[in-house]
Amino acid sequence: MDINDKNYNLSVEIDKIHLRNPTMLASGILGISQSIFERLYKENVGAVVTKSISVNPMKGYPNPTVISIGGGSYLNAVGLSNPGVDAFSKELSKNKKIPIMISLVGSSEKEFSRMVKVFDSLSILGYEINLSCPHVSKMGMEVGDDPEAVNKIVKTVRMNTTKPISVKVGVGSIDVVELARVAIDAGANIITAINTLRAMTIDIETMMPILSNRVGGLSGTAIKPIGVRCVYEISKNIKAPVIGCGGVSSWQDIIEYMMAGASAVQIGSVLGSNGPKIFNRITKDLKNYVEKKGMKNISEIVGIAHKY
Amino acid sequence: MDINDKNYNLSVEIDKIHLRNPTMLASGILGISQSIFERLYKENVGAVVTKSISVNPMKGYPNPTVISIGGGSYLNAVGLSNPGVDAFSKELSKNKKIPIMISLVGSSEKEFSRMVKVFDSLSILGYEINLSCPHVSKMGMEVGDDPEAVNKIVKTVRMNTTKPISVKVGVGSIDVVELARVAIDAGANIITAINTLRAMTIDIETMMPILSNRVGGLSGTAIKPIGVRCVYEISKNIKAPVIGCGGVSSWQDIIEYMMAGASAVQIGSVLGSNGPKIFNRITKDLKNYVEKKGMKNISEIVGIAHKY
Amino acid sequence: MPTNIDNRRIVRIEQTIVETPTVKTLVFKDSLSHTAKPGQFLMIWIPRIEEIPMSVMINSKDGYAAVTIRKSGVGSTALFERKTGDLVGLRGPYGNSYTLKKSYKKILIAGGGTGLVPLLRLASYAQKLKIQSTVIIGARTKGEVFFENIARKIIQDNDSSLKICTDDGSYGIRGTTVELMSKVLHENTFDCVFTCGPELMMRKVVDLSNENSIPVEASLERYMKCGIGICGSCCLDASLVCQDGTVFSGRQLSKMLDFGNSYRDKDGQRINYS
Amino acid sequence: MPTNIDNRRIVRIEQTIVETPTVKTLVFKDSLSHTAKPGQFLMIWIPRIEEIPMSVMINSKDGYAAVTIRKSGVGSTALFERKTGDLVGLRGPYGNSYTLKKSYKKILIAGGGTGLVPLLRLASYAQKLKIQSTVIIGARTKGEVFFENIARKIIQDNDSSLKICTDDGSYGIRGTTVELMSKVLHENTFDCVFTCGPELMMRKVVDLSNENSIPVEASLERYMKCGIGICGSCCLDASLVCQDGTVFSGRQLSKMLDFGNSYRDKDGQRINYS
Ligand SMILES: Cc1cc2nc3c(=O)[nH]c(=O)nc-3n(C[C@H](O)[C@H](O)[C@H](O)COP(=O)(O)OP(=O)(O)OC[C@H]3O[C@@H](n4cnc5c(N)ncnc54)[C@H](O)[C@@H]3O)c2cc1C
Ligand SMILES: Cc1cc2nc3c(=O)[nH]c(=O)nc-3n(C[C@H](O)[C@H](O)[C@H](O)COP(=O)(O)OP(=O)(O)OC[C@H]3O[C@@H](n4cnc5c(N)ncnc54)[C@H](O)[C@@H]3O)c2cc1C
Ligand SMILES: Cc1cc2nc3c(=O)[nH]c(=O)nc-3n(C[C@H](O)[C@H](O)[C@H](O)COP(=O)(O)O)c2cc1C
Ligand SMILES: Cc1cc2nc3c(=O)[nH]c(=O)nc-3n(C[C@H](O)[C@H](O)[C@H](O)COP(=O)(O)O)c2cc1C
Ligand code: FES
Ligand code: FES
C57 DSSP β-pair partners:
C66
D231–B30: do the CB atoms touch at under 8 Å?
A: yes
| Residue D195 confidence class, pLDDT cut points 50, 70, 90 | very high
Give the pLDDT confidence score for residue B60 in this predicted structure.
93
pLDDT of residue D133: 92
Burial profile A166-203: b = 16 or more Cβ within 10 angstroms, e = fewer:
bbbbbbbbbbbbebbbbbbebebbbbbbbbbbbbbbbb
Q: What is the pLDDT of residue A118?
A: 97
Q: CATH number for the domain including A122?
A: 3.20.20.70
Task: Report whether A247 contacts A223 (CB < 8 A).
Answer: yes
Sign of the Cα torsion C196, C198, C204, C206 reads: positive
B1 occurs within a structural domain: no
Q: Where are the alpha helices (DSSP H) in B170-277?
A: 176-185, 224-237, 251-260, 271-274
Task: Tell me how far apart the alpha carbons of residues A86 and A55 are, in angstroms, rounded to a whole number.
Answer: 8
Distance CA A302, CA A231 (A): 11
Nearest-10 Cα torsion for B290, B295, B297, B298: -50
The finding on whether D75 has its CB within 6 A of some atom of ligand 2 is: yes
Under DSSP, the state recorded for D36 is P
- Alpha carbon D220 to its chain's center: 8
Taking alpha carbons only, the member of D140, D131, D118 closest to residue D65 is D118
CB A267 within 8 A of CB A279: yes
Strand-by-strand arrangement of the D87-94 sheet: D50-55, D41-46, D87-94, D9-20, D23-29, D64-70
Task: Name the closest ligand to CA C72.
Answer: 1
**In which region does residue D165 sit, left (phi positive, over 0), alpha (psi from -120 to 50) or beta (all else)?**
beta
Interface confidence (ipTM) of the complex: 0.95
- Chains adjacent to A (≥3 CB pairs closer than 8 angstroms): B, C
Using an 8 Å Cβ cutoff, are D57 and D68 in contact? yes
- B15 located within any domain: yes
Q: Is ligand 2 within 6 A of the CB of residue D73?
A: yes
Q: Which of B66, B88, B275 sits opposite D231 (nearest CB)?
A: B66
Rounded distance between C-alpha atoms, residue B96 and residue C57, angstroms: 63
Three-state DSSP class for C137?
strand
Nearest-CA residue for atom 34 of ligand 2: D73
- A207 contacts B304 by C-beta, under 8 angstroms: yes
Phi, psi of D23, deg, nearest 5: -130, 130
Is A123 in a helix, a strand, or coil? coil
DSSP 3-state assignment of B227? helix
Provide DSSP, C174-218.
ES-HHHHHHHHHHH---SEEEEES-HHHHHHHHHHHHHTT--EEE
Residue A108 DSSP one-character state: S
Integer Cα distance of B101 and B30 in angstroms: 14
Pairwise CA distance, residues B218 & B269, whole Å: 10
In this model, does residue A123 exceed pLDDT 80? Answer: yes
* C138 and C197 Cβ atoms separated by less than 8 Å: yes
What is the secondary structure of B78-144 as a DSSP string? Answer: ----B-HHHHHHHHTTT-SSS-EEEEE--SSHHHHHHHHHHHTTSS--EEEEE---TTSTTSTHHHH
CA distance D172 to D112: 13
pLDDT digits (tens), chain C, 274 positions = 446 899 999 999 999 999 999 999 999 999 999 999 999 999 999 999 999 999 999 988 999 999 999 999 999 999 999 999 999 999 999 999 999 999 999 999 999 889 999 999 999 999 889 899 999 999 999 999 999 989 988 887 655 689 999 999 999 999 999 999 999 999 889 999 999 999 999 999 999 999 999 999 999 999 999 999 999 999 999 999 999 999 999 999 999 999 999 999 999 999 998 7
Q: Which residues pair with A147 in a beta bridge?
A: none
Given a cut of 90, whether residue D154 has pLDDT beyond it is no
For the segment A54-67, what is each residue's pLDDT rounded down to a tens digit?
Answer: 999 999 999 999 99
Q: Which residues lie below 8 Å from residue A224, measured CB to CB, with a gap of 6+?
A: A246, A247, A248, A253, A256
Q: What is the CATH number of domain D9-94?
A: 2.40.30.10
Is the predicted pLDDT of residue A6 greater than 90, yes or no?
A: no
B133: annotated active-site residue? yes
As a whole number of angstroms, the distance between CA D24 and CA D45 comes to 17
Residue C156, pLDDT score? 75
Which DSSP symbol is given to A218?
Answer: E
**Over the stretch D97-124, which tens digit does the pLDDT of each residue have?**
999 999 999 999 999 889 999 999 999 9
Q: Minimal CA–CA distance to A83: which of C233, D154, C224?
A: C233
Those residues with Cβ within 8 angstroms of residue D121's Cβ, 6 or more apart along the chain or in another chain: D36, D37, D38, D39, D55, D56, D57, D58
Residue C42: closest CA among C16, C86, C79: C79
What count of other Cβ atoms lies within 10 Å of the Cβ of residue C207?
16
Instruction: Provide the Cα torsion C242, C246, C248, C253; round to 10°.
Output: 70
- The domain of A58 spans 6-307
Beta carbons of B248 and B216 less than 8 angstroms apart: no
- Asked if D touches B (at least 3 Cβ pairs < 8 angstroms), the answer reads yes
On the question of pLDDT at D159 being above 60, the answer is: no
Residue pair B66/D224 in contact (Cβ under 8 Å)? The answer is no
**Domain count along chain B:** 1
Which residue type is seen at A142? E
D47 DSSP 8-state letter? T
Coil, strand or helix at A131: coil
Q: Check if B279 contacts D (Cβ < 8 Å).
A: no
Q: Which of residues 122-151 of B touch D (CB under 8 A)?
A: none
Would residue A162 count as lying in a domain?
Answer: yes
Lowest mean pLDDT among A262-266, B285-289, C155-159: C155-159
Q: Scanning every residue of chain B, which has its alpha carbon at the shortest distance from the alpha carbon of A172?
A: B173
Report yes or no: A132 at the B interface, CB cutoff 8 Å: no
pLDDT at A7 over 60: no
Q: Provide the 10 A C-beta neighbour count for residue C169.
A: 12
**Cα–Cα distance for residue pair D209/B72, rounded to 1 Å:** 41
- Is B258 contained in some domain? yes
Per DSSP, B62 falls in state P
The pLDDT tens digits for D30-75 are: 999 999 999 999 999 999 999 999 999 998 899 999 999 999 999 9
Pocket probe mutation, ligand 4, options B25, B29, B230, max atoms within 8 Å of Cβ: B29
pLDDT classification of A8: cutoffs 50, 70, 90: low
Residue B105's nearest CA partner among B185, B167, B198 is B167
AA letter at B240: A
C74 Cα to chain A: minimum distance (Å): 10
**CA–CA separation, A110 vs B107, rounded Å?**
45
Contacting residues for B294 by C-beta, under 8 A, at least 6 apart: none
Say if A296 falls within a structural domain.
Answer: yes
φ, ψ dihedrals at A267, nearest 5° = -125, 130
Does the structure show a pLDDT above 50 at A52? yes
CB spacing of B256 vs A308 below 8 angstroms: no
Q: What pLDDT does residue B64 have?
A: 97
DSSP state of C37: P
- Name the burial class of residue D243, with classes exposed (0-12), middle (13-18) and buried (19+) by CB atoms within 10 angstroms of its CB: buried
What pLDDT is stored for residue A5 in this prediction? 55
Q: Are A74 and A272 in contact (CB under 8 A)?
A: yes
- Against chain C, the chains showing at least 3 CB pairs within 8 Å are A
- Asked, for residue A118, whether it belongs to a domain, the answer is yes
Q: Is the pLDDT of residue B3 over 80?
A: no
At residue C235, what are phi and psi to the nearest 5 degrees?
A: -65, 145
CA distance A68 to chain B (A): 12
Compute the count of residue pairs across chains B and D with CB atoms less than 8 Å apart. Answer: 125
SS3 call for A259: helix
User: Does residue A3 have a pLDDT over 50?
Assistant: no
End-to-end CA distance of chain D: 45
Nearest CA in chain A to B230: A199
Interface test mutation site (partner C, options A25, A27, A33, max chain C beta carbons within 10 A): A33
Q: How far apart are CA D240 and CA D132, in angstroms?
A: 31
Nearest residue to A243 via CA among A72, A145, A73, A128 = A128
- Examine residue A136 and state whether it is found in any structural domain, yes or no: yes
Pocket flag, ligand 3, residue A196 (CB < 6 Å): yes
Helix (H) or strand (E) segment spanning residue A34: helix A34-42
Number of other CB atoms surrounding residue B104 within 10 Å: 26
Query: How far apart are the C-alpha atoms of C167 and C180, rounded to whole Å?
Result: 11
Q: How far apart are CA B64 and CA D49, in angstroms?
A: 9
Chain B residues near residue D266 by CB distance under 8 angstroms: 59-60, 81
- C49 residue type, one letter: I
